[in-house]
Amino acid sequence: KPLYEQLHAYVRTKLHNSYGKDIVKNSGPIPAHLLGNMWAQSWGNIADILKPYPNKPSINVTGEMIKQGWTPTKMFQKADDFFQSMGLDKMPDKFWSGSILEKPADGRELTCHASAWDFYNGEDFRIKQCTRVNQEDFVTVNHEMGHIQYYLQYKNQSYFYRSGANPGFH
């Protein structure tokens, strides 16, 4: 089965075991109100339930990324590989040539808050992020690349249908 189905089943099973069959059924959707904020985005409050090895310490991969010589570009390439492994589209060439993946070295000022952009022409999708090689930014890279994947999937739709099906998908 695809990774996303395996992950969904894992989370549902863990929550079922923790909350019981009356709240979390053996199959079907996961009740969104258990997953943090009102959009079911912040899963930090259930991390203790989902952690596969609760007696093991949490890890931070920053040191290993630096040791292996990762760059901001490599972080985005790895995220692209991840999305492709789920059957989603490869990032188009224009993405790589048009995006700003790290703070410009030429002294230009820009807001470094990460953001994903759809230029609504069906071919130009970009990310602006002043990426640093660390675990926190790698999570953000994957988040922003998720937005671009939505844009790629919706590119042939009318402008009115190009945003997520629900604001909770942000």
Q: Supply the pLDDT for residue 116.
A: 96
pLDDT digits 0-9 by tens, 87-109: 999 999 999 999 999 999 998 88
Torsion angle of the four alpha carbons 96, 97, 103, 107, in this order, in degrees rounded to the nearest 10: 180
Q: Supply the pLDDT for residue 39.
A: 73
The band of 133, judged by pLDDT with boundaries at 50, 70 and 90, is very high
- Looking at every residue in the chain, the average pLDDT score rounds to 91
pLDDT digits 0-9 by tens, 20-35: 999 999 988 899 888 8
b/e per residue 117-128 (b: at least 16 CB within 10 A) = bbeeeeebbbbb
pLDDT above 90: percentage of residues in the chain: 69
pLDDT over 70 at 166, yes or no: no
The better pLDDT of the pair 59, 134 is held by: 134
